[in-house]
Structure 1
Amino acid sequence: MIEAAIFDMDGLLVDSEPIWQEVAIEIFETVGVNLTIEMCQEGTGLGTADFVKLFYERFPWEGKSQEQVGQEIIERGHERIATETLPMPGAHDTVRFFHERGIPLAVASASPMEIIETVLRRLDLVQYFTLWHSAVLETRSKPHPDVYWSTIEKLKVKGPHCVAFEDSGNGLRSAHAAGMLTVAVPAPYEYDQPKFDIADIKIPTLTHFNEDIFNNLVQKLPL
């Protein structure tokens, strides 16, 4: 049986990616770096520190440290997420699907803990989750598996008997490296990219998740 369902958050449970992109573009403008939405999409699934590092290495700037730029992105993003975000299609139904079957749920996100909590409360999902964990608390963020390893350990379950839901290539690599079953839910602009081929299941939105897909995942569990 599936022992736990672990969800990414940004772009999967909550439609926050456009907000993070807007905020990143605004903050990077203050150091003279002109990001585009397409450039922001390159860093989807990375933690804020790794996202900032990615573009600092490409466009070194002066006047603000990478840490300061990252903190400004987090603070402004948190303000907007707390008041503007909406759930992704199918998020509530998929969460309730596992909850109704008595399967523990967790969030493993690259966002800071306070933002995870803000989102779960805003979407009225917090009561369904056993725990949530942030890659900010790990030495390495996604695409490394650390945040999933810690989440599995906290849940006291075995990785190969868990399913992870991810919308980004970096997140999928993280869950896959942790040895979990994976469901990829890519954004339309990258749905057909080969980086999602490592997923056990790929669906366009969480609205496509159903009993048949669940049973397919169960059949993939190790003996």
Structure 2
Amino acid sequence: MNKKAVIFDMDGVIIDSEPLWQTAQIESLAQFGVTITRQECEQLTMGKRIDDIAKTWCDKYPLGIDPSDLETMILTRLCDCISVEGEPMAGVYRALDFFIERGMRVALATSSNHVVIKAVFDRLKLWDKFSIICSAEDEINGKPHPDVYLSAAKALFVEPDECLVIEDSFTGLTAATRANMVTYLVSPAYQEQKFEIANRRFENLNQVVDALS
């Protein structure tokens, strides 16, 4: 590894929260008599910022509420789920320790809001593992725009091409690629054609560590 920093996405990389995000969306829309599927959530909202998620559903269905109200509903349900059910992805602690031991700076660059980050870091006890935490909530544009990754590199005092990004979604990979960063895709669906834009692909974080060791 000739990189100075590693930047992790959070949902689906650090914590197994994608099913929880889907549950929060499904249950929130059900209150308006709208039925959506997990497949729809994955196709339409995976890797996106909460305002983009809420706008997606408000544009698609006549919910009769402001998207900001739907945002609040989804986030409240999500944080409740994380605090009770949140589990780390396979190999998370091993991977974090691996990069830290090699002197690399470790950052987070996520589409999730700070309230979700806090719920995840409290649940998984991650506060001492990351030197920089960046949320797309603070950016003008969320992923697939590169803003949050460029902000992370700036906060780390490194150039974008000195960063390795670990992502699990096409949206996130697109953002990191646009930031001119090396990308590793980590997902059980790593063989899907859409993930060919990644520099390397793995099923889980344990495979990343094994490959770099």
Q: Is the 8 A contact 2:21 2:78 kept in 1?
A: yes
Q: Could you tell me whether the CA contact under 8 Å between 2:20 and 2:78 is conserved in 1?
A: yes
Partner of 1:60: 62
C-alpha contact 2:149 2:175 (8 A) present in aligned 1: yes
CA contact (8 A) 2:50 2:113 kept: no
Distance in 1 (CA, whole Å) between partners of 2:211 and 2:26 is: 41
1:200 is the counterpart of 2:199: yes
Is residue 117–residue 126 contact of structure 1 (8 Å, CA) maintained in 2? Answer: no
CA distance in 1, matches of 2:12, 2:49: 13
One-letter amino acid of the structure 2 residue matched with residue 107 of structure 1: L
CA distance in 1, matches of 2:176, 2:134: 14
The residue correspondences of 1:6-155 to structure 2 (distance < 5 A) are 6-42=7-43, 43-62=45-64, 64-155=65-156
Amino acid in structure 1 at the alignment position of 2:54: V
> Runs ≥4 in structure 1, deviation > 4 angstroms?
none
Amino acid at match of 2:175: S
Q: Report deviation, 1:31.
A: 2.2
Q: Which runs of 5+ in 1 are unaligned?
A: 215-223
Alpha-carbon distance between aligned partners in 2 of 1:99 and 1:58, rounded to the nearest angstrom: 44
Structure 1 residue 48: Cα displacement? 1.3
Partners of 2:172 and 2:156 in 1: CA distance: 19
Mapped partners of 2:117, 2:193: distance in 1: 29
> C-alpha separation between the residues in 1 aligned to 2:99 and 2:117?
19
DSSP-derived class of the 1:34 partner: coil
| Cα-to-partner distance string for 1:23-61 (whole Å, 9 max, x where unaligned) | 100001122321101101111101111112222222232
Name the TM-score, length of structure 1 as normaliser: 0.90
Q: Which moved more, 1:119-128 or 1:141-150?
A: 119-128
Pair 1:158–1:211, CA change in 2 (3 A): farther
Letter matched to residue 59 of structure 1: Y
AA partner of residue 62 (structure 2): P
Task: Kindly indicate whether the alpha-carbon contact (under 8 Å) linking 1:3 and 1:158 is maintained by their aligned counterparts in 2.
Answer: no
User: 1:212, CA displacement in angstroms?
Assistant: 3.5
**Contact 1:90/1:207 (8 A) holds in 2:** yes
RMSD: 1.4
Aligned length: 211
Shift in Å, 1:124: 2.1
Secondary structure in structure 2 of the residue aligned to 1:202: strand
Identity rate of aligned residues, in percent?
A: 35
How many angstroms apart in 1 are the aligned matches of 2:3 and 2:105?
Answer: 9
Give the Cα separation in 2 of the matches to 1:132 and 1:3.
Answer: 16
1:158 match: 159
Question: Which structure 2 segments of 5+ residues have no match?
Answer: none
Q: Give the match's secondary structure for 1:5.
A: strand
- Specify the SS of the correspondent of 2:128: helix
What secondary structure sits across from 1:33 in the alignment?
coil
Q: Residue in 2 aligned with 1:219?
A: none
CA-CA distance at 1:78 after TM superposition: 1.0
1:211 is displaced (CA, Å) by 5.2
Question: Separation in 1 of the partners of 2:105 and 2:197?
Answer: 24
